[in-house]
């Protein structure tokens, strides 16, 4: 593919291939190596492929202004999903010193959805959806989260950006929670990827 497209500088990788693609990569950027997942590949002149994770830049630069002053208020987070996208999210939260817990269908990593009670939800005011649930055309789907426990003190971040307002976000808004979709993250990670491809 690279030989047939000499002007091609690289490409982006999306769900569900952010970990699967690692077996084809010759070299990883330091951050990507720590995360264990990539979303950006740069084609070298020698045909070697280098992997990066610009989701880190996109998520961090969109999350910090979204949280505002709340970021310094002993904030705890729940990360819904344990796939490749969630790895970059966890990396950023650790960097920002936001304690976080994975939530999935089983308790193999973190806790299971059915273990979420009112106390757990009240203690974790940042909820991040890293699953593809709710993505078009399956707009009637949402993570099996106990939305009735959400309040105006909660922040919901959905990595999904199509549709702009997922069922996950709608249910959060109904409870007064602050919400943001994945569009700012998408744009910011794309800018970071462009700089990698063009060495700017």
Which helix (DSSP H) or strand (DSSP E) does residue 91 occupy?
helix 84-95
Measured CA angle at 79 (ends 78, 83), to 5 deg: 160
Give yes or no: 153 in active site: no
Of 9, 18, 23, 170, which one is the catalytic site residue? 18
> What residues contact residue 105 under an 8 Å CB cut-off, 6+ apart?
112, 113
Residue 190 burial by CB count (10 A; 0-12/13-18/19+): exposed, middle or buried? middle
91, 85, 4: which is closest to 47 by C-alpha? 4
Q: For 193-197, which contacts have Cβ atoms below 8 Å and span 24 or more sequence positions?
A: 193/10, 193/12, 193/39, 193/40, 193/52, 193/54, 196/10, 196/40, 196/42, 196/52, 196/54, 197/9, 197/10, 197/42
Other beta carbons within 10 Å of 149:
15
Residues in the chain: 200
Query: Active-site positions?
Result: 18
């Amino acid at each position: 593919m690279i030989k047939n497209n000499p002007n091609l500088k690289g490409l982006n990788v999306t769900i569900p291939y952010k970990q699967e693609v690692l077996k084809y990569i010759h070299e990883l950027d330091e951050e990507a190596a720590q995360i264990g997942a990539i979303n950006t590949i740069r084609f070298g002149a020698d045909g070697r492929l280098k992997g990066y994770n610009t989701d880190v830049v996109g998520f961090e630069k969109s999350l910090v202004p979204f949280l505002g002053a709340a970021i310094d208020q002993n904030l705890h987070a729940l990360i819904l999903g344990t796939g490749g996208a969630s790895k970059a999210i966890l990396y950023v939260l650790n960097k920002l010193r936001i304690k976080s817990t994975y939530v999935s269908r089983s308790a193999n990593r973190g806790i299971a959805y059915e273990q979420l009670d009112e106390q757990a939800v009240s203690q974790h005011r940042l909820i991040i959806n890293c699953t593809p649930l709710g993505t078009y055309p399956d707009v009637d789907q949402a993570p099996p989260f106990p939305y009735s426990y959400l309040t105006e003190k909660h922040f919901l971040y959905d990595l999904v950006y199509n549709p702009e307002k997922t069922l996950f976000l709608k249910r959060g808004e109904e409870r007064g929670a602050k919400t943001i979709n994945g569009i700012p993250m998408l744009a910011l990670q794309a800018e970071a990827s462009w700089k990698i491809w063009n060495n700017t």
